[in-house]
Amino acid sequence: MRKSVLFFLLPLFLFGGEAQKQLNVFELTPSKMPPQQFKVEAVFSKEIKADCNDAYLIGGKIEQKEGSDGLLYYEFSGGNELAQTLMLCKTEKQKKWVYYELEAPFFYTPGEIRILAPKDVKVELKIYELVESKEPKIRKMK
């Protein structure tokens, strides 16, 4: 009996009982435009069963760490707490990608952005380019 309990608990002690993680590596290519012309943000999502309501996951956070190789990486950890609207739905729950409320901004620098996240979390980088900057027209109030 003791041996069988030890056999089942051994993986928890060896692997810490944590969700498995994967390293997501994004390569940013050099640009002729200045880096200030770009906005880079990481977006995190998870596939869950949800109804027709708008939903998002809360409780995500990201920390900058240094790897054993001396390179910096970011570690994402997120909860499973779901927030959603409360409309009546006529359809069954379906699998869909639900985003975390956290959006992590980065500077656009050529090279790698490395993000460690749980395997069931999808990581995307969104890169925005400044196309035009507009100044407001100042009008006097009457």
What pLDDT sits at residue 36? 86
pLDDT over threshold 70, residue 2:
no
Structure tokens at 74: 């970011």
- pLDDT category at 84 given cuts 50, 70, 90 is confident
Residue type, 84: Q
Task: Tell which wins on pLDDT, 142 or 117.
Answer: 117
Q: H helices of the chain, where?
A: 2-15
User: How sure is the predictor about 47, in pLDDT bands with cuts at 50, 70 and 90?
Assistant: very high
Residue 79: CB atoms within 10 A of its CB come to 11
Of 55, 46, 61, 73, the C-alpha closest to 103 is 61
122-136 mean pLDDT = 91
- Stretch 130-141: mean pLDDT: 90
Helix (H, G, I), strand (E, B) or coil at 14: helix
> What is the predicted pLDDT for the residue at 73?
94
